[in-house]
Amino acid sequence: MSRLTHIDQNGNAQMVDVGAKDITEREAVAQARITMQPETLRLIVEGGHKKGDVLAVARIAGIQAAKKCPDLIPLCHPLMLTSIKVDLTPDSESSSVLIVARCKLAGRTGVEMEALTAASVAALTVYDMCKAVDKGMIIGEVRLLEKSGGRSGEWKA
């Protein structure tokens, strides 16, 4: 098992020094899924929600979350993201919304946390906007799907 990079030899938390790493194109894709009552999904899809366009607001929230990742997750580096895409796809068969977030940059450290944060906050935003009609929604399947760039190269779930 490899050593945890955010823990020093004395067991103290530390921010990893990435100054000597090469600048490479890096990308990460993460997902989350929020499952709800069929009526709630229908309300979202048909645009009948009194708070407005749930999917558009959740998309913006996910983009903002990726940009704020170092403010939310201790020891994350502030990054100059070059692209953040958050796609929300309603799925009537599973009565859910699948959220896929993709973050890119040219830098010295990866963007996995930014993609995971974007997907998670987008799901939380759907919950927030719809909780008045469906408190039983379930947020799940939050995971990294793929990453590329850097020393470790390509990885796919």
CA distance 86 to 44: 17
Residue appearing with tokens 């990308």:
27
Among 17, 71, 91, 128, the one annotated catalytic? 128
> Which two tokens mark 152?
């470790």
CA separation, residue 26 to residues 36, 81, 93, 123, 150 (Å): 34, 10, 34, 24, 7
Q: Which amino acid is at 88?
A: L
Residues 6+ apart with CB under 8 A from 110: 26, 28, 147, 149, 150
Q: Which residues of 81-94 are buried (b: 16+ CB within 10 A; e: fewer)?
A: beebbbebebeeee
Would you call 128 a catalytic residue per the annotation? yes
As annotated, the active-site residues are 128
